Amino acid sequence: MNDALLDRLPPPLPADHIVALNQPRKDLHTERRYEWNGWTFDVPAGVFLPGATSRVIHQRLLDGRIDVRGRRYAAMGVGLGVEAVVAGRRGAKEIYAIDVHPLSVDTTTRHYERLVGHREGTTFVPVVADVFDGFPTGRRIDVITFNPPAVSQKVSEDPDIVRNVCVGATLVERFFTGIVEHDVLAPGGEVFLIASNTADLRTIVSDAVALRFRPQIRLRHDWRDGVLTYLFRFTREGGDA
Ligand SMILES: C[S@@+](CC[C@H](N)C(=O)[O-])C[C@H]1O[C@@H](n2cnc3c(N)ncnc32)[C@H](O)[C@@H]1O
């Protein structure tokens, strides 16, 4: 069954096409603004500005297709913090806002305090960590989301652009390995990961399968420019679901 799913995934687009599609925005090192769902976020220099791929996850958190109510939730690579704000408003029990970039974690914390604030039954935990290296030990999570910088071609030498866009499939492999080694996923836990054929989808999914994760495709979106984006849901053998 996993082989059939792997066979359905497209190979990466040609390298020059990927580089052309992912020309870095010139304004990453400036202060920007982001508006979504009636909320306004300031976006400090270096922090990722959410795009249409980000909103696939944000919208599903908001409308409950990714259900975090009363559950322990980790937003891996949280960036600006929109996932954390939505999870707070939806009433997640615990929210781990994780990023390797301290300014992204600070920015998320600021937006969370402003747009959610104290809420009975919800705990917000900002975490600076390199995927799960630095994540508090002994915590179990019910839902994890990740919009990784998985583009397979190095589109820039700028370390902030690389961190946001194109670390590649090895980072996703470290993400899944971290879940297993730190025993992060609670029984019945779910991992939602979004990536496109600007990344090496088959490597990403087969690395997860080798660690006994079970993939499902929740969305395949054709952007009509050659890019096909997939939202995967992974569970782990031994868990429910
Ligand atoms: C594509 S952005 C996604 C940001 C946000 N989740 C969104 O969808 O708008 C990728 C994020 O992953 C973070 N990141 C990159 N490498 C990481 C690592 N090793 N551990 C944790 N986060 C990382 C980046 O700093 C960035 O905020």
- Residue 142's domain is classified under what CATH number? 3.40.50.150
Residue 109 lies in a domain: yes
Q: Count how many domains the chain has.
A: 1
Residue 241 lies in a domain: no
In this structure, the chain runs to a length of 241
Which residues lie with the beta carbon below 6 Å from any ligand 1 atom?
A: 48, 50, 54, 77-80, 83, 98-101, 104, 130-131, 147, 149, 163-164, 167, 171
Q: What range defines the domain where residue 185 resides?
A: 2-236
- Alpha-carbon span 145 to 189, nearest angstrom: 11
Q: How do beta strands 141-146 and 32-36 pair? A: unpaired
Average confidence (pLDDT) over 112-130:
98
Instruction: State pLDDT tens for residues 64-120.
Output: 999 999 999 999 999 999 999 999 999 999 999 999 999 999 999 999 999 999 999
Residue 84: closest CA among 105, 102, 103 = 105
For 227, phi and psi rounded to 5 degrees?
-85, 130
23 token code pair: 């020309």
Q: What is the pTM of this model?
A: 0.97
Q: Are the C-beta atoms of residues 191 and 148 closer than 8 Å to each other? A: no
- Residue 2: predicted pLDDT: 72
Residue 83 lies in a domain: yes
